[in-house]
Structure 1
Amino acid sequence: MSAHAASTSFEDDARDLHDHGKKVSPGEIAIGVVIGRTSEFFDFFVYAIASVIVFPTLIFPYVDRLQGTIYSFAVFALAFIARPLGSVIFIAVDRLYGRSAKLTIALFLLGTATVAMGFLPGYAQVGNWSVVLLSILRIAQGIALAGAWDGLASLLSLNAPEGRRGWYAMLPQLGAPFGLLVASGLFAFFVATLPAADFIDWGWRYPFFVAFAINVVALFARLRLVVTPEFTTLFESRALQPAPVLDTIRAEGRTIVLGAFAPLASFALFHMVTVFPLSWIVLFTRETPGRFLTIEVIGAAIGLCATLVSGLLADRIGRRTLLGSTAVLIALFAIGAPMLLDGGATGEWVFMIVGFALFGLSFGQSSGSLATSLGKTHRYTGSALTTDLAWLFGAGFAPLAALLLSSKLGLAASGAYLFSGAVCTLIALGVNKELAKRANEG
């Protein structure tokens, strides 16, 4: 039974509520996509920030702060390891029961796992069970994030006006700076207004509670789009139809791997300007977390503006050209970034401003940069797998690797890690261009 035939009551209700016989504009699609991505990244950053300023004390108090943060980052990586498994599970759900059932289950799982973290008991209450519970909930987040991948960014891109593909491809990426801005702002408020004991006891939990409400809003925004005639048309043409995972890997394995490595510079920088510097400041300086979280709020605003600019540039010079150019700039930034981060207040500001500007320019065009190289039959599933692997390779272990390297070899080692990500992006883009050239010649 196909997902199209298996129309659920959610789809029927959404269609009755929203079907007015009008064509859905790209602007309406953009709003739904941005809301959905913002909810995902808000959940992501709430956990990421807590993994630095809460969990080392709450869950790992039996080791020193550095080791506790390393353990916390190891748990952080579990979600990225679980994402490919989540894609396998939810692609099967999609094929059997439809896109709306998949989204409903995934977003409620994501919201429930995130809210449950807000009720998590500490090591002082339940001992090592707190580590087990945190790990289970983190894995659930990863599985749910894979299921929340909906192909709506493709719907938006394919409905974009002529000559505006880069702009509309950029819009889903706005969810990252929006999510960081809200998450950092909430934590900065509670850190600044509460005594340290109260913050660790109960104050840190409130951002996790907010996540469920945001996920409910995101669910209905996405269901609004899944039932549109435009989505149905693309589904029936196979552009948004899920294909079996093994068939997709056999048919498009090379493109999936190249697509996973193409945005590596952007995804590595993603954590190098968000999660890792916060851990470095907390562990190796006397600076308060609240001050640096405020800097991150400002950095997120800069990243938001740079993401918007990336849409304009991509339509002028091309998405792949922009990705390659920013990878070169990220490589140059990686050389000087350690000195900036370790250069006092002024260095921190320069690090964050330049880092977030480059992050916005690169991340704005990083999603599905090689998706057009995928065949139509396997494009939806191939894009989902590419996204999972890109996050796993480029982001999942970035905070852990950067902190381990920096604590053992000095801060310059984190720059070398970022530099390697930029090199991988340039190699992937070059190999893909050469393969495309050979295919055209053949």
Structure 2
Amino acid sequence: MHSISAPFSASGGRSSLRDEDPSVAPGDIAVGVVIGRASEYFDFFVFGIASVLVFPAVFFPFASQLQGTLYAFALLALAFVVRPLGTVLGMWVQKRFGRSTKLTLALFLLGSSTAGMAMLPSYASAGASAIALLALCRIGQGLALGGSWDGLPSLLAMNAPENRRGWYAMLGQLGAPLGFLVASGLFAYLWSDVSRADFLSWAWRYPFFAAFAINVVALFARLRLVLTHEYERELEARELEPCDIGELLGTQGGNIFIGAFAALASYALFHLVTVFPLSWIMLYSQQEVGQFLLVQMAGAVLAAAAMPVSGLLADRVGRRRLLGSLAVLIGLFSVCAPWLLDGGTLGQDTFILLGFVLLGLSYGQAAGAVTSNFLPRLRYTGAALTADLAWLIGAAFAPLVALGLSARFGLGAVSLYLLSGAACTLIALRANRVLAMKD
């Protein structure tokens, strides 16, 4: 097992193909990674923002606004719960029918699920069936996202130059602030431009149609990329193919959990500066929602600017040390969270802007932080399941837990929640270091 900065495990490894065949440049791979991740994040944030602004009134009018938002956040988590299953099913399809079949099925399922949400009836017209259909579409999105794993992030990590791995690691993460910027901008425009009745009747559906179009285009672009002869040859040579799940769990299952918890602080912060504060403003603040979305858009710009800085710092001091230092900063930030969120417009805006800067610095290096620990033949599936578990543990229930606890016990509960994520990251990084030293 290697340290966090190793390109991949020496056990069963091979020399870099970059020295033997430079046909696939890291910059070309990065384009595919950014396209795929930006579309996924846009789709995710469209659902997340709608869970606050739309779903409580449209699908849960029988409940209070707080309870309706909690119900919507429970549906938000569904996609992350089933995503590992989507990954396993996708690996099964790829082994039997090929990568192109797997990605095509994922494209069809993701597009139909997202477009289906845009055409759902409201609770007023269809009753509980509307909620069931929304949940079904959300499950379809989760299965599709798991099945859409293409191996490009792992290929990018392997092909990145020795002294620029931190830089290339953050490129795919740029999709997060870009996706949030577009999604929040679209909702901010609709929220401010149409009446509230029109917004809840038909205008909220447009972002879902946009998400459908973007995902279809992005997945087709990725298909055209990964199915070229050069990429297929490179993926095969790097052993980036599905492996036996039983062998992976039995041989290196611990690496999946270490990798998931190593990124926990970043993934927890991810939702606590995007979806959760919007719900808090909607329920308990006097600040206008459209104005707050603009502040969050400014925060997304700061996060996007901070990510290249994270790449430079990681290449200078090491990814593990940087993630550990930022986990400490996130812990300190969590202590200030209650005072900032309860500090009126100035405090809330400060929370958002500082939080997004920390998110950009930490999340820029969170993906695949320890996937180099996997044996080459296990890395493709191992990296996918590690990412799935990181989302499930760190982000899936974050808005639901944060809002539920803060409504019942106050904003101090949010502090403890984020602080626990920072502690888990430090423990996982330490465990990774100890295991690497033993190896």
2:64 counterpart letter in structure 1: D
1:272 counterpart letter in structure 2: L
1:1-16 aligned at under 5 Å gives the runs: none
Paired residue for 1:432? 432
Partner Cα distance (1:146, 1:244) in 2: 17
Question: What displacement does 1:97 show?
Answer: 1.6
- Contact 1:173/1:363 (8 A) holds in 2: yes
Question: What displacement does 1:22 show?
Answer: 9.0
Q: What CA RMSD, in Å, does the superposition of the two structures yield over aligned residues?
A: 1.4
- Contact 1:53/1:289 (8 A) holds in 2: no
- Contact 2:296/2:353 (8 A) holds in 1: no
Of residues 222-231 and 173-182 in structure 1, the stretch that sits farther from structure 2 once superposed is 222-231
SS at match of 1:266: helix
1:66-215 aligned at under 5 Å gives the runs: 66-215=66-215
Paired residue for 2:298? 298
1:45 counterpart letter in structure 2: F
- Contact 2:287/2:345 (8 A) holds in 1: no
1:366-385 aligned at under 5 Å gives the runs: 366-385=366-385
1:220-369 aligned at under 5 Å gives the runs: 220-369=220-369
1:175 counterpart letter in structure 2: G
2:183 counterpart letter in structure 1: A
Partner Cα distance (1:32, 1:232) in 2: 14
Question: What displacement does 1:220 show?
Answer: 2.6
1:292 counterpart letter in structure 2: F
Paired residue for 2:34? 34
SS at match of 1:163: helix
- Contact 2:24/2:231 (8 A) holds in 1: no
SS at match of 1:121: coil
Using the size of structure 2 for normalisation, the TM-score is 0.93
Question: Is 1:420–2:420 an aligned residue pair?
Answer: yes
2:262 counterpart letter in structure 1: A
Paired residue for 2:45? 45
- Contact 2:309/2:361 (8 A) holds in 1: yes
How many residues of Structure 1 are paired with residues of Structure 2 in the alignment?
Answer: 419
- Contact 1:24/1:228 (8 A) holds in 2: no
Flag the 1:38–1:28 CA change in 2: closer, same or farther, 3 A.
Answer: same
- Contact 2:306/2:357 (8 A) holds in 1: yes
SS at match of 1:61: coil
Question: What displacement does 1:238 show?
Answer: 4.9
Partner Cα distance (1:309, 1:100) in 2: 36
Deviations 1:254-289 (A, max 9, x none): 111111111000000000000000000001112222
1:60 counterpart letter in structure 2: F
Question: What displacement does 1:107 show?
Answer: 2.4
- Contact 1:79/1:141 (8 A) holds in 2: yes
Question: What displacement does 1:234 show?
Answer: 3.8
**Aligned sequence identity (%):** 58
Paired residue for 1:13? none
Gaps of 5+ in 1: 1-20
Question: What displacement does 1:88 show?
Answer: 1.1
SS at match of 1:82: helix
Gaps of 5+ in 2: 1-20
Of residues 98-107 and 192-201 in structure 1, the stretch that sits farther from structure 2 once superposed is 98-107
1:211 counterpart letter in structure 2: A
Partner Cα distance (1:111, 1:292) in 2: 30
1:208 counterpart letter in structure 2: F
Deviations 1:12-38 (A, max 9, x none): xxxxxxxxx992332222122111111
Partner Cα distance (2:27, 2:282) in 1: 41
- Contact 1:108/1:215 (8 A) holds in 2: no
1:136 counterpart letter in structure 2: L
Question: What displacement does 1:100 show?
Answer: 1.9
Paired residue for 1:408? 408
- Contact 1:183/1:207 (8 A) holds in 2: yes
1:50 counterpart letter in structure 2: A
